[in-house]
Structure 1
Amino acid sequence: MITISPDTLTITATDRASMDRELDEAVSAARAVAMRERRCGILVSRHGHDSFTVTLSDSVPFGLTREFQDW
């Protein structure tokens, strides 16, 4: 399941296949906004074994996607 707020997509996965698919979709959506509107990077944070956020981040250089383990 993907939940959307202004600069953050929250993903709660039920299995590995949906996790991979939803993360790919969320990063693609964030990349489109980052390229078109914000000119910033993307931060993918893992908050648990099934919980992630994909955030547009000014602390990540434009054109990059960084991962962060937050658990």
Structure 2
Amino acid sequence: MTTATECIEIQVDSRQVLDERLDDAVRGLQQIAMETGTQGILLTRHKAGHYTAALSDQVPFGMTRELIH
């Protein structure tokens, strides 16, 4: 079971904007993850241009993983 204490939804039309928003989301989640030291970051692609970035206990601390639905 995944526990997400923070989730950021990202919807874009441009690859450049997507990269910038994903980078910003990961940086923000990294700061939150540093406080607990127990969760990693899971990036999920739901469809073209629609992603979520979330803290997840399914990802080891200090790691970022991508899931494509």
Q: What TM-score, normalized to structure 1?
A: 0.85
Instruction: Give 1:51's aligned amino acid.
Output: H
1:66 match: secondary structure: strand
Q: Which amino acid aligns with 1:61?
A: P
Structure 1 partner of 2:57? 58
What's 1:46 paired with? 45
Q: Which runs of 5+ in 2 are unaligned?
A: none
Deviation at 1:19, TM superposition (A): 0.4
Query: Unaligned regions of 5+ residues in structure 1, if any?
Result: 1-5
How high is the TM-score relative to the length of structure 2?
0.87
- The root-mean-square deviation of aligned C-alpha atoms, in Å, is 1.2
1:62 alignment partner, SS class: coil
Aligned-partner residue type, residue 41 of structure 1: G
Provide the secondary structure at the position in 2 that maps to 1:42: strand
| Paired positions, count | 65
- Pick 1 or 2: higher relative contact order, CA cutoff 8 A, min separation 6: 2
Moved over 6 A (4+): none
Distance in 1 between the 2:8 and 2:37 partners?
15
Once the two structures are superposed, the pairs formed by residues 26-45 of structure 1 within 5 Å of their partners are 26-37=25-36, 39-45=38-44
